[in-house]
Amino acid sequence: MEQYTAPITKLIEELAKLPGIGRKSAQRLAFYILEMKGSDVVELARAIVNAKKHTKHCQTCGNLTEGELCSICISLKRDRSTICVVEDARDIAAMERTKEYKGLYHVLHGTISPLDGIGPDEINIKSLISRLNTDIKEVILATNTTIEGEATAVYISRLIKPMGIKVTRIAHGIPVGGDIEYADEVTLMRAMEGRREM
């Protein structure tokens, strides 16, 4: 194993803590940073510190924001009769890229996972239920298709349905450009369940 100075080793160790960054990627990033101009390194460090210092969760939906409420919650152009429930704030960015959904969001900040000791009280479900009033006509469950995502969607659905609010689940199936022959059984089953008339 290569021997680096203590500051370089520490930089590599910290970068390797980032998701999807292994030791080799962390080394490449560390050496790239060392080759940057000093002013660029300072700007990078400042951007990281400022993002951490000035970013918080929206008091209403849990999205990332600088203020008390996010831009989606304060927008008068959003459809206030639908709430799309997602696991993570990154999911909002993905949904917004489609430019199709015009409603509100709610971020759970995780999923129910008994094996990891995460129950309904450890994620942002209570504030979702408190948001549901007579104006809300539909709650769209857009959790991932993992076991935890499915369990969370079922749990939330069971809480909301007795309130008389329509609960829907985003369709899952074969991705655009995907070949049926390579799809697994669960994906094909979801694709069949989510079929629609043409």
pLDDT tens-digit series, residues 116-145: 899 999 999 999 999 998 899 999 999 988
Task: Judge if 91 and 150 occupy the same domain.
Answer: yes
pLDDT of residue 195: 72
**One-letter identity of residue 94:** A
Phi-psi region of 177 (alpha: psi -120 to 50; beta: other; left: phi over 0): left
Residue 154 in this model has a pLDDT that exceeds 90: yes
Task: Give residue-wise pLDDT tens across range 40-54.
Answer: 999 999 999 999 999
The domain tally of the chain equals 2
Instruction: Convert the pLDDT of each residue in 62-104 to its tens digit.
Output: 999 999 999 999 999 999 999 999 999 999 998 999 888 999 9
**Residue 129 within any structural domain of the chain:** yes
Band of residue 1 on the pLDDT scale cut at 50, 70, 90: very low
CATH number at residue 173: 3.40.1360.10
Residue 45 lies in a domain: yes
Query: Which has more confidence, 125 or 198?
Result: 125
> Which CA distances in Å does 77 have to 73, 123, 178?
10, 28, 35
Query: What do you get for the CA distance between the two ends of the chain, in Å?
Result: 60
Give the domain extent around 166: 74-193
Q: Does 102 share its domain with 42?
A: no
Residues 94, 35 share a domain: no
In a domain, residue 155? The reply is yes
> What confidence tens digit (pLDDT) does each residue in 178-188 have?
776 777 777 77
Please indicate, yes or no, if residue 158 is contained in any of the structural domains. Answer: yes
For strand 138-141 and strand 64-65, is the pairing parallel, antiparallel, or unpaired? unpaired
Element housing 34 (H / E) = helix 23-35
Q: Residue 102: in which H helix or E strand, if any?
A: none
